[in-house]
Each structure stands twice: as structure tokens, then as C-alpha cells.
């Protein structure tokens, strides 16, 4: 493997570990905590998320490098609304069911199965009907 490939792999492992450790300890895998965040019954997780965005934004501002742009497209808002509905119902976004299962919550496997089916269905639907260039957040 070439040096850039090794760096990317090492970065994915290191920050994947830290990301999983952080979101589990913040409580994103706990449906009750998540519901209290969305209903503003407890602002702790909202503060962690918003504070994280603010601190990262400050770091990006200091570096000052213009980032690649995510695309505005017709699927953006409908897709985000479907995601918000699924997140509120299941307590899982694409990363969270992973830490739910890791904490021993076996039913998180059903959420992961749903995510897999939903992503495959979206790809098929986009190829067949939508034909949207949806971008991928710079990945």
C-alpha cells in the first residue's frame, strides 16, 4: 500500500475509534437521551453537538483553507427530512446503531439492516428515477 493509502487507513482507524468512543460516551446510542435532546428536555447532548460544530468551525476558520462544497440539489431537503424521521423513530443514524450493538443492544442489528436496505434502495431509485448528483459531503 502506498504512503497516502496507509495514512488514510491509519486516520480512519484512529478517528473511527475516537468517534465511536465519543458518541457512545456522550449518549447518542441511548434512545431516551436522544429523545430528550430532540424535545429539548435536556440540552446536554445538544450542547455537545453544537459545541463540537462551533469548535471545529473555529479550527477550520484558523486554517483558512477553502473546503470543497457539498451540493445543493433537489434531493437534499426531502432526504434530510426522511433521515430526521428515521432517526427520531429508531434512535439511529448510520453510525449510531453500530455503537448500540457494540454496547450489547442486539435490536440495533435491525436498525443496521434497515440502513443497509435503505441505502441500496436509494441507489437503485436514483439510478432508475431521480438521476440526482447527490454528492457525498466531500468524501
Partner 1 sequence: MSGYWPWWVGAPALATVTFGYWRTVGRTLGASTAWDRVLHWREERAVEQLDAAFDDAGFEAALSAATAEAFGSATVAVATRAVAPSGIEAAPDAPAAAAAPATDADAAPAPAPPVPVAAHAALLASIFVGGLIAAVVSGRFEVRLDMGPDFASLVAGGWRMWPTLFLGGVLAGFGTRLAGGCSSGHGLSGCSRLQPASLVATAAFFGTAVAVSFLLWDVL
Span 5-44, contacts to partner 1 by CB under 8 A: 5, 7-27, 29-33, 35, 38-40, 43-44
Residue 106 near partner 1 by CB under 8 A: yes
Q: Write the CB contacts of 60 (distance below 8 Å, at least 6 apart in sequence).
A: 67
Cα separation, 57 vs 62, whole angstroms: 9
Q: How many CB atoms lie within 10 A of CB 63?
A: 8
Residue 65 near partner 1 by CB under 8 A: yes
Cα separation, 84 vs 92, whole angstroms: 10
Residue 139 near partner 1 by CB under 8 A: yes
Residue 74 CB, shortest distance to partner 1, in Å, is: 9
96-109 burial, b if ≥16 CB within 10 A, otherwise e? Answer: bbbbbbeeebeebe
Instruction: Choose, by CB under 8 A, the member of 70, 127, 128, 131 that binds partner 1.
Output: 70
Show contacts with partner 1 in window 76-105 (CB under 8 A). 76-95, 97-105
Residue 67 near partner 1 by CB under 8 A: yes
Residue 59 near partner 1 by CB under 8 A: yes
Residue 106 CB, shortest distance to partner 1, in Å, is: 5
Residue 64 near partner 1 by CB under 8 A: no
Closest CA to 108 of 92, 124, 86: 92
Q: Residue count at the site for partner 1 (CB under 8 A)?
A: 114
Q: Give how far Cα 75 sits from Cα of 81, 83, 118, Å.
A: 10, 12, 15
Residue 47 near partner 1 by CB under 8 A: yes
Amino acid at each position: 500500500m502506498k504512503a497516502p493509502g496507509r495514512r488514510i487507513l491509519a486516520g480512519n482507524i484512529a478517528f473511527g475509534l475516537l468517534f465511536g468512543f465519543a458518541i457512545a460516551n456522550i449518549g447518542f446510542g441511548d434512545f431516551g437521551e436522544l429523545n430528550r435532546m430532540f424535545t429539548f428536555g435536556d440540552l446536554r447532548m445538544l450542547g455537545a453537538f453544537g459545541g463540537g460544530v462551533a469548535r471545529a468551525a473555529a479550527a477550520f476558520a484558523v486554517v483558512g483553507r477553502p473546503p470543497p462544497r457539498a451540493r445543493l440539489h433537489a434531493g437534499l431537503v426531502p432526504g434530510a427530512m426522511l433521515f430526521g424521521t428515521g432517526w427520531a423513530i429508531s434512535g439511529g443514524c448510520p453510525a449510531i446503531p453500530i455503537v448500540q450493538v457494540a454496547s450489547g443492544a442486539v435490536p440495533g442489528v435491525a436498525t443496521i439492516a434497515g440502513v443497509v436496505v435503505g441505502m441500496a434502495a436509494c441507489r437503485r431509485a436514483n439510478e432508475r428515477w431521480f438521476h440526482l448528483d447527490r454528492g457525498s459531503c466531500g468524501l
